[in-house]
Structure 1
Amino acid sequence: MHTTADTPPDCHLAPEARRAGMLHWLAPLLLGLWLTGCASLPSEVDRPVSTALANPAETRLGQLVEARAAQASTRNDSGFALVGSAELAFTSRMTLIKAAQKTLDLQYYAILADETTERMMEALREAAGRGVRVRILLDDFNTSGKNAQILKLAFEPNIEMRLFNPLRGGRASMFFRLLSNLGDAQRMQRRMHNKIFVADNAVAITGGRNLGETYFGQSDGTNFIDIDVLAAGRIARELSQSFDQYWNNPLAYPVQSLMTVKDIDAARPAAGRTSPGSDNNAAEATMPADTAQTAQDRSGSITRVSTAPNGATATIPTLPDSTDLRLLPWTWASSALLVDKPSKIAPDADIAGDPQDTAVDGLLQLMSQAKTDLLIVSPYFVPGELMMKQFASLRERGIRIRVLTNSLASNDAPAAHVGYARYRERLLRMGVEIHEMRAEQESSITSFALFTGSIGSRASLHAKVVVMDSRLLVVGSMNLDLRSQLQNSEVAIVIRNRTLSAQATRMIEPVLASGSYQVDLVDGKLVWHPPQGSGLKDVSVEPDASLGLRLAVKLIAPFAPDEML
């Protein structure tokens, strides 16, 4: 058949021939979907029950916590230190890995395979080699392609790894994983979003961060701005109890019950595969040679040479390996743990007939007791009608409400912005003050003392924090949106302490003043006011967002229900 450059190949074919041509291309796709769709989760799974270290006091970390508590002369049984810098977020975790003597428990929504996490995973291997029991519980959603290589840790001596609520099918492509699970979309939507890191059942870290270079200020693309909290004592033991509930739950599958090392190798992108018998250098596999390399400067410290999309280069100091946690300003305070039960995301959660209070419900109940003001940081902010009623009630009582969330340009999930935008005008009309994070930060801005300002990088808000009445601080994994309330499991720590509340406020308020747009209603229309002294002018459209992005958001808006965003 003759065709020209301006003529589609099959335009003159009979309908039967056109269908045959389509099947020629569709057959491999349908076969792939059939094969992955037929895959099922194993029914008989060996899940040995294990629990947190019974006596933390027998470890150096446990003894350090007891000594610090005695030194503080306090009746409070839990100590805290805020983690607002990317460097401290990384080094504190590395320090706990190196200090652990008995156990390390990690529970995360995502662990991304890159140079930064490879350093952390190598430290975990070393800990396991000296006899530390390592348990890693990971949500299964982000374990395809390159990120699947993290799962090889499950086959290391003294390291156990389980996947929570795993998806059926292969891991070579996220696209095909999602496609093959569309028939079970409701289950696919329910994710374990908890972030917990516990050493020797004595010291823990929780907050908004997953594990990956973009969470530790090392990405050449987008760096997430976040806040964690170090927690010691009784609250760390409660976090361990929560970990154990998830670890021993039927939805937690040992990696070995789902795949082999060969299966994991097969999921790696072709350019990153190693030949049989060769060393598996994960750092080389995940760091393209043309975008980043290591170098040694005159002082002898290791650095990264980063290349931005515009061709500019910058030398970025590599994060240190540890920090002295004894030097941190620990504060002992009364506290409580908000954590969802694993059953929240069970397949039959909606029909079990046993409604449960969620972590977000607990947070909303606390917020309803505000007497003067609320400062809310939530990267994905989709209130829903019930939450809107609560905000209206608070405003009627004269409670000041300030919200810091992402702008459309800084949001890594534009669909979530769709849900937020539906409520923005109503929130402003009731007197809620709204600030939206700027994607492009000035080099002098150290948002949450965290943004490193590497060449070509952008800022995206990822912290989940509430400060109430300058005396109550909440740091956790959940957003103020319906997904966190209804779909995902979450965890947060509530701390009643004015010192820590003031410290968190000092981290956040510079971003409100210098790193965000304040949104306002002028003559009934939205206006974005840039930071004073920035040299920017007021705008009446989503700032820094391209026309294409703004149009895309408008197109998907009618088809995106709040609870799915």
Structure 2
Amino acid sequence: MTLRVCRLAWVLLLLSTAACSTLTAAQREHAAGIAVAAREDAVGCDRADRCAEPSELRALAGAAFTESAAAPDAPPRHYALILDEGGDALLARINLIRSATRKIDLQTYIFDKDDSARLVIDELLAAARRGVQVRVLIDQLSAIADLQILAALAGAHENLHLRIYNPTFGQAVPNYLDYAASVVCCFRRFNQRMHNKLLVIDDAVGIAGGRNYQDDYYDWDSEYNFRDRDVLVAGPVVREMEHNFVAYWNDPRSVPAERLDDVAGVLLAQGVPALPPARPTRPERIETMSQAARDAALVRERLVARAIPVGAVAYLADVPRKHHEGPDTDGAGLSGLAALLAGAQDEILLQTPYLVLSDQALEIFRGLRARPQPPRVVVSTNSLAATDNPIVYALTYKYKRRHVRELGFDLFEYMPFPADPPVDPALGAWQAGDPPTRPNVARSELPGGSLGGSSGADGDGRVEDKLRTETRPSLLRTSAPASRPVPVSGEGPRMGLHAKSMVIDRRIGVVGTHNFDPRSETYNTEAVVLIEDPAFAHALAQSIERDIAPGNSWTVAPRQKPPVLSGLNYSMGKVLEASPVLDLWPWRYATNYAFQPGPDCPAPLPRRDPDFHRCYEAVGDFPEVSLGAKSILTRMLTAFGAGLVPIL
């Protein structure tokens, strides 16, 4: 026992030594001075509008403010646009950045260095050089993982400022030893992440939702892309978005990049480096997007023409004090979502990629279910084949009976190769026939879906780099092979659900970052846009219903009762489901079904219809998954992983 204690103490000493290897305060000040002194101060435009490009998308804000001023006694006027397609979401961002006349504020959880992310970096730099004030705030866990780029941006221009939120041990790009030390010494602090995603232009137009800055959020990845959703809002509410951004920008946890030890080390060693040249995997795609953002007719057709005039809009967002003082309890932040859910009368459409409900969410849904006339609850989430996080899916799988039977959810699981995905190749989206940019691109071709460390990556390691997705907030599983997508039977780029949206009674629409899970309520800061408008709610409902259509999702429904021992099967499954440790019962109460159209089954049926099993074919618990080590892992975590729920 003494030997074990000594070994543990030695490990802790090594970890703490690595974590405390920092620069002195004087060295950090010197590095910051190097960055500040090197920043360009020349501005390439002397016009009052900073040579902003005309934008009808930006002009929506002018119309909203004018209409709001004309009717001061009515709710402020806004325009809202659902950004369902990745190409449109990137097009809107580039067009708006170029339209900025005063300032640009960008807040995000992930910022990569791939094609789409580098395009945005270059556009932000161009805006700063023409005189626009640009502020970029990135959560440290998935910040730009390139010290040369970070150091270059830190000293690029006096109009460009970059801060990193909640850096682990004062570093922008910590190593695995630092992560391990943070788990040992201060897990809660370093596992609290800024999950918000926001782009604000001139306090007039804002984009919020699920998308980060990485190719797989814009349909540009050759292997795996997220089916995601943002909402663009123009009008007075954007000032609230800006106010929330400023709270994060000024928070002590937001540290200028040049004051972080590893970035400062680069500055001290070599001064401000040149920004590494962009090396896009598909240069023609970059050019297509750049030209499209200047094409007024195209922007009008794809974006402006679809904007919906709306009235009441609210930006519900956590504030940084959630990480200092615990969850917000005064109702000013996202706690308002609980009352919104509890007030539903007829229907809730909920879309979340990770169906691991928090205790508060469970209590709300149980209360709704207990009503004499409970509202219908439709839930769209990932299947195992589509998810980017099998560990989280394991808990969804464990509680299928609870979701379907106890809570009464009409549950749909997204397919990895949906028949009707919201993807348009016109703006560079990857298609199944496109050539890969790296060898062995199909995940189904990776060696057996191995759980081994390097077998899931090609020779240059870029697959490892790319998988810096939303599955990384927990420090317990940073870059863990088990948190990568499982091998599937199909080929080509697959899709996984990432949209976080909700429609209440077809009159209130919500788009944002909140997953209704324990992480969203306890560890992450989150933000959503709430729009109370029937036209907007209808459009959002149509978008979710497209995702749950038979060709895009499987229907989850109870299995047909076996002729014998059906009661025992149900009872054993229910008892073991409640166990936080042991759940080895092999037969789940519910499984996945695929619609089989025919003369007697002309249209999809609800799972409660008496003819459901005649028109739907059971396709198993894990359809389209190439069974292997990761499938076994999912079952193991279903058996033993319930204790991980609070941090998943």
Normalising to structure 2: TM-score of the pair? 0.69
- Contact 1:439–1:458 (CA under 8 A) maintained in structure 2: yes
One-letter code aligned to 1:551: I
Q: Distance in 1 between matches of 2:111 and 2:385?
A: 25
Q: Distance in 2 between matches of 1:452 and 1:419?
A: 32
Q: Distance in 2 between matches of 1:372 and 1:142?
A: 39
Q: Within the alignment, does 1:202 sit opposite 2:204 as a pair?
A: yes
Q: Distance in 2 between matches of 1:364 and 1:205?
A: 23
Map residues 145-224 of structure 1 onto 2, 5 A cutoff. 145-146=145-146, 149-150=149-150, 152-157=152-157, 158-168=159-169, 174-182=175-183, 183-224=185-226
Q: Within the alignment, does 1:321 sit opposite 2:284 as a pair?
A: no
- For 1:139, the equivalent position in structure 2 comes to 139
Query: Given the superposition, is the C-alpha separation of residues 349 and 40 from structure 1 closer, same or farther in structure 2, using an over 3 Å criterion?
Result: farther
SS at match of 1:473: strand
Q: Distance in 2 between matches of 1:509 and 1:440?
A: 17
Q: Within the alignment, does 1:530 sit opposite 2:531 as a pair?
A: no
Compute the displacement of 1:142 (Å): 1.2
Map residues 53-202 of structure 1 onto 2, 5 A cutoff. 65-68=61-64, 70=66, 75-77=74-76, 78-143=78-143, 145-146=145-146, 149-150=149-150, 152-157=152-157, 158-168=159-169, 174-182=175-183, 183-202=185-204
Q: Distance in 2 between matches of 1:108 and 1:252?
A: 12
- Contact 1:225–1:451 (CA under 8 A) maintained in structure 2: no
Pairing partner for 2:315 from 337, 349, 359: 337
- For 2:382, the equivalent position in structure 1 comes to 406
Q: Distance in 1 between matches of 2:23 and 2:271?
A: 29
Compute the displacement of 1:493 (Å): 1.1
Map residues 446-457 of structure 1 onto 2, 5 A cutoff. 446=422, 452=429, 454-455=431-432, 456-457=492-493
Pairing partner for 1:518 from 555, 559, 567: 555
Query: Given the superposition, is the C-alpha separation of residues 220 and 327 from structure 1 closer, same or farther in structure 2, using an over 3 Å criterion?
Result: same
- Contact 1:144–1:173 (CA under 8 A) maintained in structure 2: no
- For 2:567, the equivalent position in structure 1 comes to none
- Contact 1:466–1:473 (CA under 8 A) maintained in structure 2: yes
Query: Given the superposition, is the C-alpha separation of residues 277 and 388 from structure 1 closer, same or farther in structure 2, using an over 3 Å criterion?
Result: closer
Q: Distance in 2 between matches of 1:556 and 1:446?
A: 32
- For 2:462, the equivalent position in structure 1 comes to none
- Contact 2:79–2:310 (CA under 8 A) maintained in structure 1: yes
- Contact 1:152–1:264 (CA under 8 A) maintained in structure 2: no
Q: Distance in 1 between matches of 2:174 and 2:264?
A: 16
- Contact 2:210–2:513 (CA under 8 A) maintained in structure 1: yes
C-alpha RMSD of the superposition: 3.8
Compute the displacement of 1:82 (Å): 1.3
SS at match of 1:556: helix
Query: Given the superposition, is the C-alpha separation of residues 532 and 227 from structure 1 closer, same or farther in structure 2, using an over 3 Å criterion?
Result: farther
SS at match of 1:283: coil
Query: Given the superposition, is the C-alpha separation of residues 386 and 330 from structure 1 closer, same or farther in structure 2, using an over 3 Å criterion?
Result: closer
Compute the displacement of 1:423 (Å): 2.7
Q: Within the alignment, does 1:547 sit opposite 2:599 as a pair?
A: no
Instruction: State which drifts further: 182-191 or 387-396.
Output: 387-396
Compute the displacement of 1:441 (Å): 2.4
- For 1:465, the equivalent position in structure 2 comes to 501
Compute the displacement of 1:390 (Å): 1.6
- Contact 2:106–2:136 (CA under 8 A) maintained in structure 1: yes
- For 1:387, the equivalent position in structure 2 comes to 361
State the aligned residue count: 497
User: Please, which runs of 5 or more residues in structure 2 have no aligned partner?
Assistant: 33-47, 433-491, 562-569, 571-588, 599-614
- Contact 2:222–2:430 (CA under 8 A) maintained in structure 1: no
Compute the displacement of 1:233 (Å): 1.6
- For 1:234, the equivalent position in structure 2 comes to 236
Q: Distance in 2 between matches of 1:147 and 1:461?
A: 31
Instruction: State which drifts further: 252-261 or 209-218.
Output: 252-261
Q: Distance in 1 between matches of 2:148 and 2:616?
A: 43
Compute the displacement of 1:472 (Å): 0.3
SS at match of 2:417: coil
Instruction: State which drifts further: 384-393 or 218-227.
Output: 384-393
- For 1:13, the equivalent position in structure 2 comes to none
Query: Given the superposition, is the C-alpha separation of residues 423 and 233 from structure 1 closer, same or farther in structure 2, using an over 3 Å criterion?
Result: same
- Contact 1:192–1:489 (CA under 8 A) maintained in structure 2: yes
Q: Distance in 1 between matches of 2:543 and 2:380?
A: 12
Compute the displacement of 1:278 (Å): 9.5
Deviation digits for residues 138-182 of structure 1, max 9, x if unmatched? 111113644873563222111011111111165666533422322
Q: Distance in 1 between matches of 2:365 and 2:170?
A: 43
- Contact 1:471–1:497 (CA under 8 A) maintained in structure 2: yes
User: Please, which runs of 5 or more residues in structure 1 have no aligned partner?
Assistant: 1-15, 17-21, 48-55, 268-274, 304-316
